[in-house]
Chain A
Amino acid sequence: MRRIFYILLSNPLSVIGLVLVGTVVFSAVFADFIAPFPSHRGAVVDFSNFNQPPHWPNIFGTDLVGRDVFSRILYAYRISLILGVVVLAIAVPIGVTVGLAAGYLGGWTEFCLMRLTDVFLSIPPLVLAMSVMGLLEPTLTNGMLAVTTMWWPWYARLVYNVTRSEAQEGYVLAAEIIGASRLHVMFREILPNCVPSIVTKMTLDLGFVILIASSLSFLGLGVQAPTPDLGSMVAEGGNYLPDSWWLTVFPSLAILIAVFGFNLLGDAFRQVLGSDQ
């Protein structure tokens, strides 16, 4: 554990990633205390102060109905992170189970599960998510559902590949020979050896989930107003470019920071856990 931190801190890029992710998570969790105008996350109207460029106390300016952009970005982070965590919390167990079963059991199980996975992978992710959202009401829950349906196959394929190679290892045979059940071999012997790959991919993916969720709401299929969301803030502000540039630039930068941070951290994990083997 200490060694992992040491390696993380010895690489400047990992440190940047750690700081960015730390900032994003911190501002999402403590948005209530950091945000100068916590009430602005809802349907507040303040026409005396609308569409103002950055100034004190609205350091990122105000939007078309006078709400503080900075406060709204903090709350948007919170929603994005919740979405990312929930999506991965559902998609990863599904994908991992499918991948383990397909990789270890083989035969018809493997054929059916992996072809099903291929079907999901063959549809462009955004199109799949859009069609799910088009069928259902555009709410936060359905947004999570849409992103989850496109996300689990990647884990199924990743875990499938790792399982295929781990299943050749001696300890799997050794476990089978002392009479371990299939479930035991899958979840207690093979799964712990897949964890490094899964963790790395999860960290990388958290950024991408945020990106996809923002894309959906940019297209008007995500979280609906007045709930703040980075994607819909960018879309809304896009109509007033270049005059009211702060409406677009700051939410876009916020997306950039989150995705960039998670990517750097994911790369760092890949190095640390990869060198572990």
Chain B
Amino acid sequence: MSEFLLDIRDLKLGFKSYAGLIEVLHGISLNIRRGEKVALVGESGSGKSVTARIILGLLQEFSTARISGSVSFEGDDLETQPLSVRQGLRGTKISMIFQDPTSSLNPVYTIGVQFQEVLRRGDVQISAKQAEARAIALLEDVSIPEPERVLASYPFQLSGGMNQRVMIAMALANEPSLLIADEPGTALDVTVQAQTLHLMRDLVERKGTSVLFISHNLGVVREFADRVYVIYKGRLVEHGRTSELFHSPRHPYTKALMAAVPRITGGGIPDIAEATDAYLDPMIDHEAEATS
């Protein structure tokens, strides 16, 4: 067993189109240890979400996608694994939380029915009664009052915050070792977002789940993650422990990213410099420097 739960090495992704190969990721290497919370930060279109899709094996199904590099999960290279093994990981060992919790739940089924399907994914034998008891316990874990009522409700009858909690409970239902959170709660308002993030952090810490946290919200990342990778146009530009990186951002893009956050103390919307070539400077890796 290797040191890392998830180890991505030199991952490249391109899409073949009529105009030739369009490169999206130019060699990304990142890793997550067991129980570690790692954030991947960048602007829209920088390649955050496609990285998540590749880990889950969803992009490999596209005939136009050209992927190279290696993705190892629990020490096994996913590329060399048969399709059935890779698909078997989804929903059991790896699960995911999305931006908009309400649209991630099917509007025609009650929460209870959807919960049962998730649990059945982990244990085919589970009976309806057991599933319900387990769902109630899991919903209590995410501090949902009256879990029975929530299970009998449809997603559109619950608030966004409630749905987000349900999503978290579902994502952790089968005790995955890796949770991918793709901009969780971006569609929610900030107070609800803060509450659910707290919940999520407590839960993953208690269960020892590793998290890949994909976000463009630096404030949230600073509170949540142990380590941060900054991604820009398909390249990682800076990597380090959260405290180091926020204290002394050294890459021009990271600095620009931090300067772009509006302050609650006023001062207007920050002026953001146009993208410069400096953003494409080579990666600065705080950890590698520390160990060398």
A residues near B (Cβ < 8 Å) are 107, 169-171, 173-179, 189, 192-193, 195
Contacts and interface: CB of A to CB of B under 8 A. Distances in A.
Contacts of A171: 103-107
Interface string B29-67: 000000000000000000000000000101000010000
Given A170-B100, A173-B98, A178 B121 contact: yes
A170 B98 contact: yes
Interface of B: 56, 58, 63, 87-92, 95-96, 98-100, 103-109, 117-118, 121
Contact of A177 (B90, B100, B103, B105): B90
B91 A173 contact: no
Given A169-B103, A174-B104, A179 B58 contact: no
B105 A179 contact: no
A101 to B, nearest CB: 16
Contacts of A170: 98-100, 103-105
B95 A178 contact: yes
Contacts of B96: 174, 177
A239 B117 CA distance: 64
Nearest to A175: B106
B109 A174 contact: no
Given A170-B99, A178-B95, 4 more contacts: A170-B104, A171-B107, A189-B106, A193-B106
A104 B56 CA distance: 19
B181 to A, nearest CB: 12
A36 B96 CA distance: 68
Main SS at interface, chain B: loop
A177 B107 contact: no
B90 A178 contact: yes
Contacts of A177: 56, 58, 90-91, 95-96
Contacts of A176: 58, 90
Contacts of B100: 170
A212 B139 CA distance: 55
Contacts of A179: 87-92, 121
A216 to B, nearest CB: 37
B106 A178 contact: no
Contacts of B58: 176-177
Nearest to A193: B108
Contacts of A174: 96, 98, 104-105
A121 to B, nearest CB: 28
Contacts of B63: 107
B109 to A, nearest CB: 7
A169 B106 CA distance: 9
A177 B103 CA distance: 14
B29 to A, nearest CB: 24
Contacts of B91: 177-179
A107 B103 CA distance: 25
Query: Top 10 closest A-B pairs, CB basis?
Result: A178-B91, A170-B104, A170-B103, A179-B90, A192-B108, A171-B106, A179-B91, A174-B104, A177-B96, A179-B87
Contacts of B105: 170-171, 174
24 contacts: A170-B99, A170-B100, A170-B103, A171-B104, A171-B107, A173-B98, A174-B96, A174-B98, A175-B106, A176-B90, A177-B56, A177-B91, A177-B96, A178-B90, A178-B91, A178-B95, A178-B121, A179-B87, A179-B91, A179-B92, A189-B106, A192-B108, A192-B109, A193-B108
B268 to A, nearest CB: 34
B240 to A, nearest CB: 29
Contacts of B118: 178
A173 to B, nearest CB: 7
A171 B108 CA distance: 11
A192 B106 contact: yes
Contacts of B109: 192
A170 B216 CA distance: 20
B52 to A, nearest CB: 9
Contacts of B99: 170
B171 to A, nearest CB: 9
Give the most central of A169, A170, A195: most B CB within 10 Å: A170
Nearest to B104: A170
